[in-house]
Structure 1
Amino acid sequence: MNKPIKRWNMLDTVNLALFLVVILFFLDFNNNATVSYMLLGVFALWIITLILRNVFINKIENNPDHPLYETQIKGKKKI
């Protein structure tokens, strides 16, 4: 059986923590510009995929004809 797609998972939490550490301690455009731009590129890719995943989830939840609609709605936590 399929599991619902999560908006935020453990890997995203780890990525956010690493992103904060990189921003605070490792970005140095004067001495290591290439590495700094590569790190920013990697985290930009993560942020883009996070946004696109949430857009995809919204499309599933708003379209009852989507094949994953039932799985996504059943796994949604009620607040």
Structure 2
Amino acid sequence: MTKKLKRWTFLDSVNAILFIVVLLFLLDFQNEGLMSWILLAVFAFWLITVVIRNIMISKIVKDPQHPLHNIQTGKNSGSNIKK
């Protein structure tokens, strides 16, 4: 059984908290330039995946022909109804 896709997950919340901590306390381009750029790249990749996931969910919801449309919108397809 396929689960409904979530726009924001618990892991995204943890990543957001870590991102704030990194921004406030760990970025130091003067002394640790390489590590600062690596951390920014990692969080940029995470942010891009969150945006892409939300775009894909929006496309699924808007397209009634998409295989995941009924699951994502919570509509029950006629073939799953028990008689």
Q: Normalising by structure 2, report the TM-score.
A: 0.89
Runs of 4+ in structure 1 over 6 Å off: none
Q: Distance in 1 between matches of 2:49 and 2:18?
A: 16
Q: Distance in 2 between matches of 1:2 and 1:53?
A: 16
Query: 1:35 matched to which residue of 2?
Result: 35
Shift of 1:17: 0.3
SS of the residue 1:23 aligns to: helix
Shift of 1:7: 0.1
RMSD: 1.0
Q: Normalising by structure 1, report the TM-score.
A: 0.93
Deviations along 1:43-62, whole A, 9 cap, x unmatched? 00000000000000000000
Alignment of 1:53-68 (within 5 A): 53-68=53-68
* Equivalent residues, number: 75
Q: Distance in 1 between matches of 2:73 and 2:37?
A: 39
Q: Distance in 2 between matches of 1:38 and 1:3?
A: 33
Unaligned runs of 5+ in 2: 76-83
Q: Distance in 2 between matches of 1:58 and 1:73?
A: 10
Higher RCO (CA 8 Å, separation ≥ 6 residues):
1
Q: Percent identity?
A: 51
Query: 1:17 matched to which residue of 2?
Result: 17
